[in-house]
Structures are given as structure tokens and as C-alpha cells.
Amino acid sequence: MADFMISFLICNLWISVIAGIILAVRRFFYRFLTNRAKYRLWFLLLGCCIVPLLPLPAMRPSQLSDLFRLFLSPAAPANPITAEQAALVRASGAAGWLQDFSVTVSAKTPSGIWQGLCFVWIAGIGVMAVSMLLPTLRFYRIRQSALPLQNAAVRGVYQRCREEMRVKKELPVYSTAFLTSPVIAGLFRQGIYLPIFVVSDYPAGKVRYMLLHELAHYKHKDTFVQMLMKLARMIYWFHPLVCYALSEMHTDREAACDASVLELLCEDAYADYGNTLLDLAQHTSMPCVPFAAWIGGNTKQIKKRVLNIARYRPPTRAQRIQSTLALLGTAAVLSGFLPLLSVHAAGDSRYVWKETGKKIQYIDLSGAFDGYNGSFVLYDTADGTWQIYDKDAALTRTAPASTYKIYSALLGLKTGTITPKQSTIRWNGQAYSFASWNADQDLASALKNSVNWYFQELDARIGIRQIRNHIHEIGYGNERVIGDTDHYWADGGLKISPVEQVELLQKFYNYTLDFAPEHIEAVKQAIRLESNSSGTLYGKTGTIGYGDSRISGWLVGFVEQENRTCFFAANIQDAANADGQTAWQITLDILAKLQIWHG
């Protein structure tokens, strides 16, 4: 929930920028744009407002987007290890290397505020939906009571208007006493509705103007656009710039329809058309039709339209070309914002996995998980088979915690910050809760004891820019690095799914990542746990904890045997008691059940 709301807020910041660009283009090129082009400019904003709600595939996040998220996310404390202490105490009775699975825990990022914002947003959408539903129901009753147009003279005017506007379809025309403005309404059963006073009191010439206007709306599919505008207003009810833009879009839409009518009239009739608009405005209020286009508007909109009619001149060929170029140029500029507007791209909460051509078995391991939510993924090189428990969870990304230290170590070796022969970093003298941390560390001991300060110092020497490049190059999870070098792998936005963990371990094992073989071998030996008749076991745990609660536990690794290698990743989730130690015990049971490893 928090991820979605933060990402959606970031999208809204970009939408503000896009709206500003469109307003600037509209202002600076106002004299060169046709009325229709000014209206179509807003289509670009309307499309951008839809993008955040589409289920687009994950795209590489922008570093500027990361910067926004950094300002929105609470800072983490300097030494987040509280829950790890509890994990170590609980594991202190285990023998040998099992004690070494101490894990890194993040600080809690309060999510209540984001849940509250989400509730307010959804409540606002509900209010807006009701405000549209009630007029829709009222219009349904009006439509039921409306009568087909009986006035022969007006019907004759309508037929001539169809020919002038080159509309082939004959739309039904109705008269009603319950509307104060002519409208064209309906998405699938469109019709033109004329107030009775228009049919009975207005001369044929003025009725012609009104019918031409409504037919122009039909010709340009404005009722469908009106629906999109209403939906955008409903979803972005809180966004003042979007609401302002939609109001301007309404004015430009009517001005575009005015221009479509004026193109059919002689210049002497322009004033008469404008006077008809003013006269109708005296009787008109906004109709209770949410998905409709009508000739009227509020006082400010009518004033703008009348001034526009007074200044109207038929567009020249040069003006049409300039308008087309301005639209295409603006669209090209705004297309660069599209990757930033996807909530899925911004949040990257799920891995889009291509299953085609893979041998996959979905297995039931709920008994082994003993009530924990989570997943298990295994890839067996012997027959190229994937075995997966809980596909949905296996493709859901979560913070990697200490499992990322495998790749942090590789980067340290690649940059020369440490070497396989000289990887010692001196202890800074700060007293930590774990005795094994209070000493100088080399790569083997730091991975074995999951020493936070060692990897924080390593990352500080490397620098956040190289870390970002490294994560992009190896394709680590959502590739999102936010904040400083201390916590990005625990609560800084970096997330990875169990399936991705297994895929990356395969690349690590097969030397297909861009690292020297001796560097991969050094890290591989540092995460080596045990050898017996089942083979050799390698692995790394990780835990995410909030205070004294542990909410996510990881174990990733592989079992190396003579004729095959089995790569695995397990992740568990719980409100209070999910950690790497528990993930390890669950994985041991599963590997034994699958006849892969017996400890």
C-alpha cells in the first residue's frame, strides 16, 4: 500500500510537470495554433493521466524519480539491528555454521500515513462517483420521458445540418421539457436532446447553429472524450492542476466546435452565431448529464468563446501545418515522461517472468511453511526443471536484506576496494551487540557473520553512483537504489523476488556476470556452509525487522553435487516472527523432502 501511494504521488508530480508544459506550449504558440489543435493538446495530458493506472511492464526507474522518493521516505537510523539480536539469541543453541546466519534488519518505515492517504483518495473517488451516478440516473428518467422530435420544420433543418457537417448516421433527435441546453448524450445510444423552448421559440436559423454545434461534437467523438474527462476528474479530484486543465479542456472543446461551425458559415453570420450563444446562455444551466457535450457553459467560458468567435478567422494552410508540428513536437517531448508515469514502473512490486519454454512444476509445500506466508523456488540443472511453491509470492519483490551482501562483496572485489588476498577492514572501535562484529573483518568473516558495518564501510568507499551502476548492470531486482550507502538493501527501495534470486544465482555460479572468475570464486567460498555425502551447500540468509518484530526472512543458495546443481530461494512473511533462521529451517525440510540435501 505504501509503495503504491508513494509511486502514485510521484506520478502526480510528473503529471504536474506535463500539465505545465502543455500550458506553456498553449500560451507561447497561441496565435499559431488552430482551435482544434488547442483542444487536442489536452488529449496528451488526458493520456498521461491514464498511464499510472495501466498494468504496464516494469521499466527502468529514473534516478530523478528515485530522488523524489528519497525525500518522501523517512530516514533510517544509523544502526538498525534490534530484531537481529533476538534472532541471534534464538539461534545461539545451534551448532557450527548455523550460528553465522546473523541477519540485517531495517528500521520501520511508518505506513499508517500512506494507508490514511489511500483511504482519503478512495473516499474522494467514491464521492465523485456518487456525484456522477445521481445525474446519470436523473438523465435516464429524462431520456425515458423525452419524445421524438415532431416539429417538421426543425427536422428539415436537422437533415440539412447533417449534410453540411457530413454526418452520415442519422442520430435520433428528442425534445424535452427537463433540459435547459441542447446536448448530445449517450455513449452507445447517442442522441440529440433539444429543450422544448428551443424547438418552439427559436427561429430556424438559430436552431441550425445549435444543431451544427451538436453534430460537430458527434463528428469528433466528444461524448467519449467527455467520459474520459469525467473519469480523470474522479480519479484526480485532489489535483488542482488537473482540475484546472480539465476546465480549460472543456472551454477549448467548445471553442473547437464553434470553429467547426464557423467554417461552414459566411463571415456575416459569425456575429449572429455569437449572439445565439449569448442568448442561449441566459436560459442555460449546466445539464444534469455527466457523459454529454452541450453548447453552453459557465459565464467565464461563454465570455471566452464569444471573444474567440469575434476574433475568428478561417485557419490558413500554414497555420494547420504549424499546429500539426506543435502537436507532434509536444507529444515527442511528453513521450519521454511515460516511463515515469507507470505506478508499476515506479514501484516495480512484481517480476514479469517469461514462463514460455520453461519446465515448471507448481508444488504444494504449505505443510513445510507451517502457517507462514511465503514461497520456495528451486531450479535443478539435471533436467532444467523449476519447482515453485506459491507462484504469486515467488514473483513478488521484497527487500533482499543481507542476501544482497553476496553482490556487494562482488562489487568490492571488482572495484579493487578489497582483493581476495587482502580484504580486511579494520574495526572502528564501536561496540556492537554481537561479539563477532567487534573485531577486524575480512570478506570471509564478514559474510559468515553478516557484519553490517563491514559492508557499509565497503559501500561507502565504493560510492552510491557505482553501486547504482552495478545494480543496473547485473539486473538486480527492481534496480532501485534510494538513500545513502547504509540501508539501500534493507529499506531503501531495492527489492527482488525469489525467482530473480534463483536466476541471479545461476549467473553467479556459471560465471556469466561481469566479474573476474577469481572474484566469484572468493565470494563462493565465503558463503560455503557444509559438505557431506549430499554434496556441498552454499547460502546466505537475510531478515527484515521492525523493532522487535521480524516480518520477512530469506535464504538463498545452491547445493552443488557431482552431476547437477540445485539453486534455491525461500522467503517467508509474518507479522512478528519471520526471519532468516526460520527460512533456513523450512528450506532444510524442503530440500530433504525433495531428496536434494540431508544435513
Catalytic residue set: 402
Count the residues in the chain. Answer: 599
User: Who contacts 75 (Cβ-Cβ below 8 Å, separation ≥6)?
Assistant: 483
Residue carrying C-alpha cell 520501520 = 108
Residue carrying C-alpha cell 458527434 = 218
CB atoms within 10 A of CB 357: 6
Cell numbers representing residue 3 in the block: 509503495
List b or e across 419-437, with b for residues whose CB sees 16 or more CB atoms inside 10 angstroms: ebeebebebeeeebeeebb
Distance CA 236, CA 53 (A): 12
Q: Which helix (H) or strand (E) holds 379?
A: strand 373-380
Nearest-10 Cα torsion for 469, 470, 475, 476:
-120
Which residue type occupies 420?
Answer: P
Q: Are strands 373-380 and 565-573 parallel, antiparallel or unpaired?
A: antiparallel
Closest CA to 348 of 3, 73, 1: 3
Which residue type occupies 302?
Answer: I
Q: How far is CA 516 from the centre of its chain?
A: 37
Q: Are strands 183-185 and 292-294 parallel, antiparallel or unpaired?
A: antiparallel
Distance CA 272, CA 241 (A): 35
Q: Are strands 385-389 and 359-362 parallel, antiparallel or unpaired?
A: parallel
Could you list the beta-strand ranges (E) of 492-599: 528-532, 535-546, 549-560, 565-573, 577-578
Q: Which helix (H) or strand (E) holds 346?
A: helix 343-347
Q: Which helix (H) or strand (E) holds 195?
A: strand 191-195
Distance CA 371, CA 519 (A): 39
Cell numbers representing residue 553 in the block: 526472512
Q: Which helix (H) or strand (E) holds 385?
A: strand 385-389
Closest CA to 394 of 408, 413, 415, 373: 373
Which burial class, exposed, middle or buried, applies to 267 when counting CB atoms under 10 A from its CB (0-12, 13-18, 19+)?
A: exposed
3-state DSSP call for residue 494? Answer: coil
Residue 356 per-residue DSSP state: T
Cβ contact 388:394 at 8 Å? yes
Q: Which helix (H) or strand (E) holds 359?
A: strand 359-362
Closest CA to 586 of 436, 408, 452, 390: 390
